[in-house]
Amino acid sequence: MPLIISERVREKLAQKSPPVTDKEILECFANQTHHPLIDTREEHLTNPFTRWFVSETDYGRKLKIMYIPRKDGIHIKSAYDATDEIIGIYAEKAKSL
C-alpha cells in the first residue's frame, strides 16, 4: 500500500527539528519489529482508528509514526522523534511481529 502524506502534514514534518523526511518514514515502516498500537483517546479518534508505532530509521533515529490505514493507502498523520516515555509505552504494550 502506498504512503500518502498530505501537503499540510508534509509542511508540519519539515518544520520539526530536525525535519522528518518521507524516506525516514518509509525506513521506519520497513524496520518495524512490533505491531502498531491503536490510539483510542477520545480527542484523537478517527475512523478507522489511528495507529502508531515506534521504529528506527536506517541511521538509528527513533521516530513515533502515526497513520490511518485506508483502502487507497496509508495516510500519515504525523511523525516525530520518540521520547523515552513513548518508547517505554510502546515497548510495554506492543507485541512482536
Q: Which residue has the cell 525516514?
A: 24
**For 2-26, how does the pLDDT look when each residue is reduced to its tens digit (9 = 90+)?**
999 999 999 999 999 999 999 999 9
Q: In which domain, by residue range, is 35 found?
A: 3-93
Domains of the chain: total: 1
**CA nearest to 54, candidates 23, 77, 88, 21:** 88
Q: Tens digit of pLDDT for each residue in 45-79?
A: 899 999 999 999 999 999 999 999 999 999 999 99
Please say if the pLDDT value at position 87 is more than 90: yes
Top-confidence residue, 94 or 44: 94
* pLDDT at residue number 1: 86
What are residue 3's phi and psi, to 5 degrees? -85, 135
CA 97 to each of CA 5, 16, 35, 67, 94: distance values in angstroms, whole numbers, following the listed order: 25, 29, 6, 18, 9
All three cell numbers of 16, joined, read: 520539526
C-alpha cell at 61: 533515529
pLDDT bin (cut points 50, 70, 90) of residue 44 is confident
pLDDT for the residue numbered 88? 97
Query: For the chain, how many helices (H) and strands (E)?
Result: 3, 5
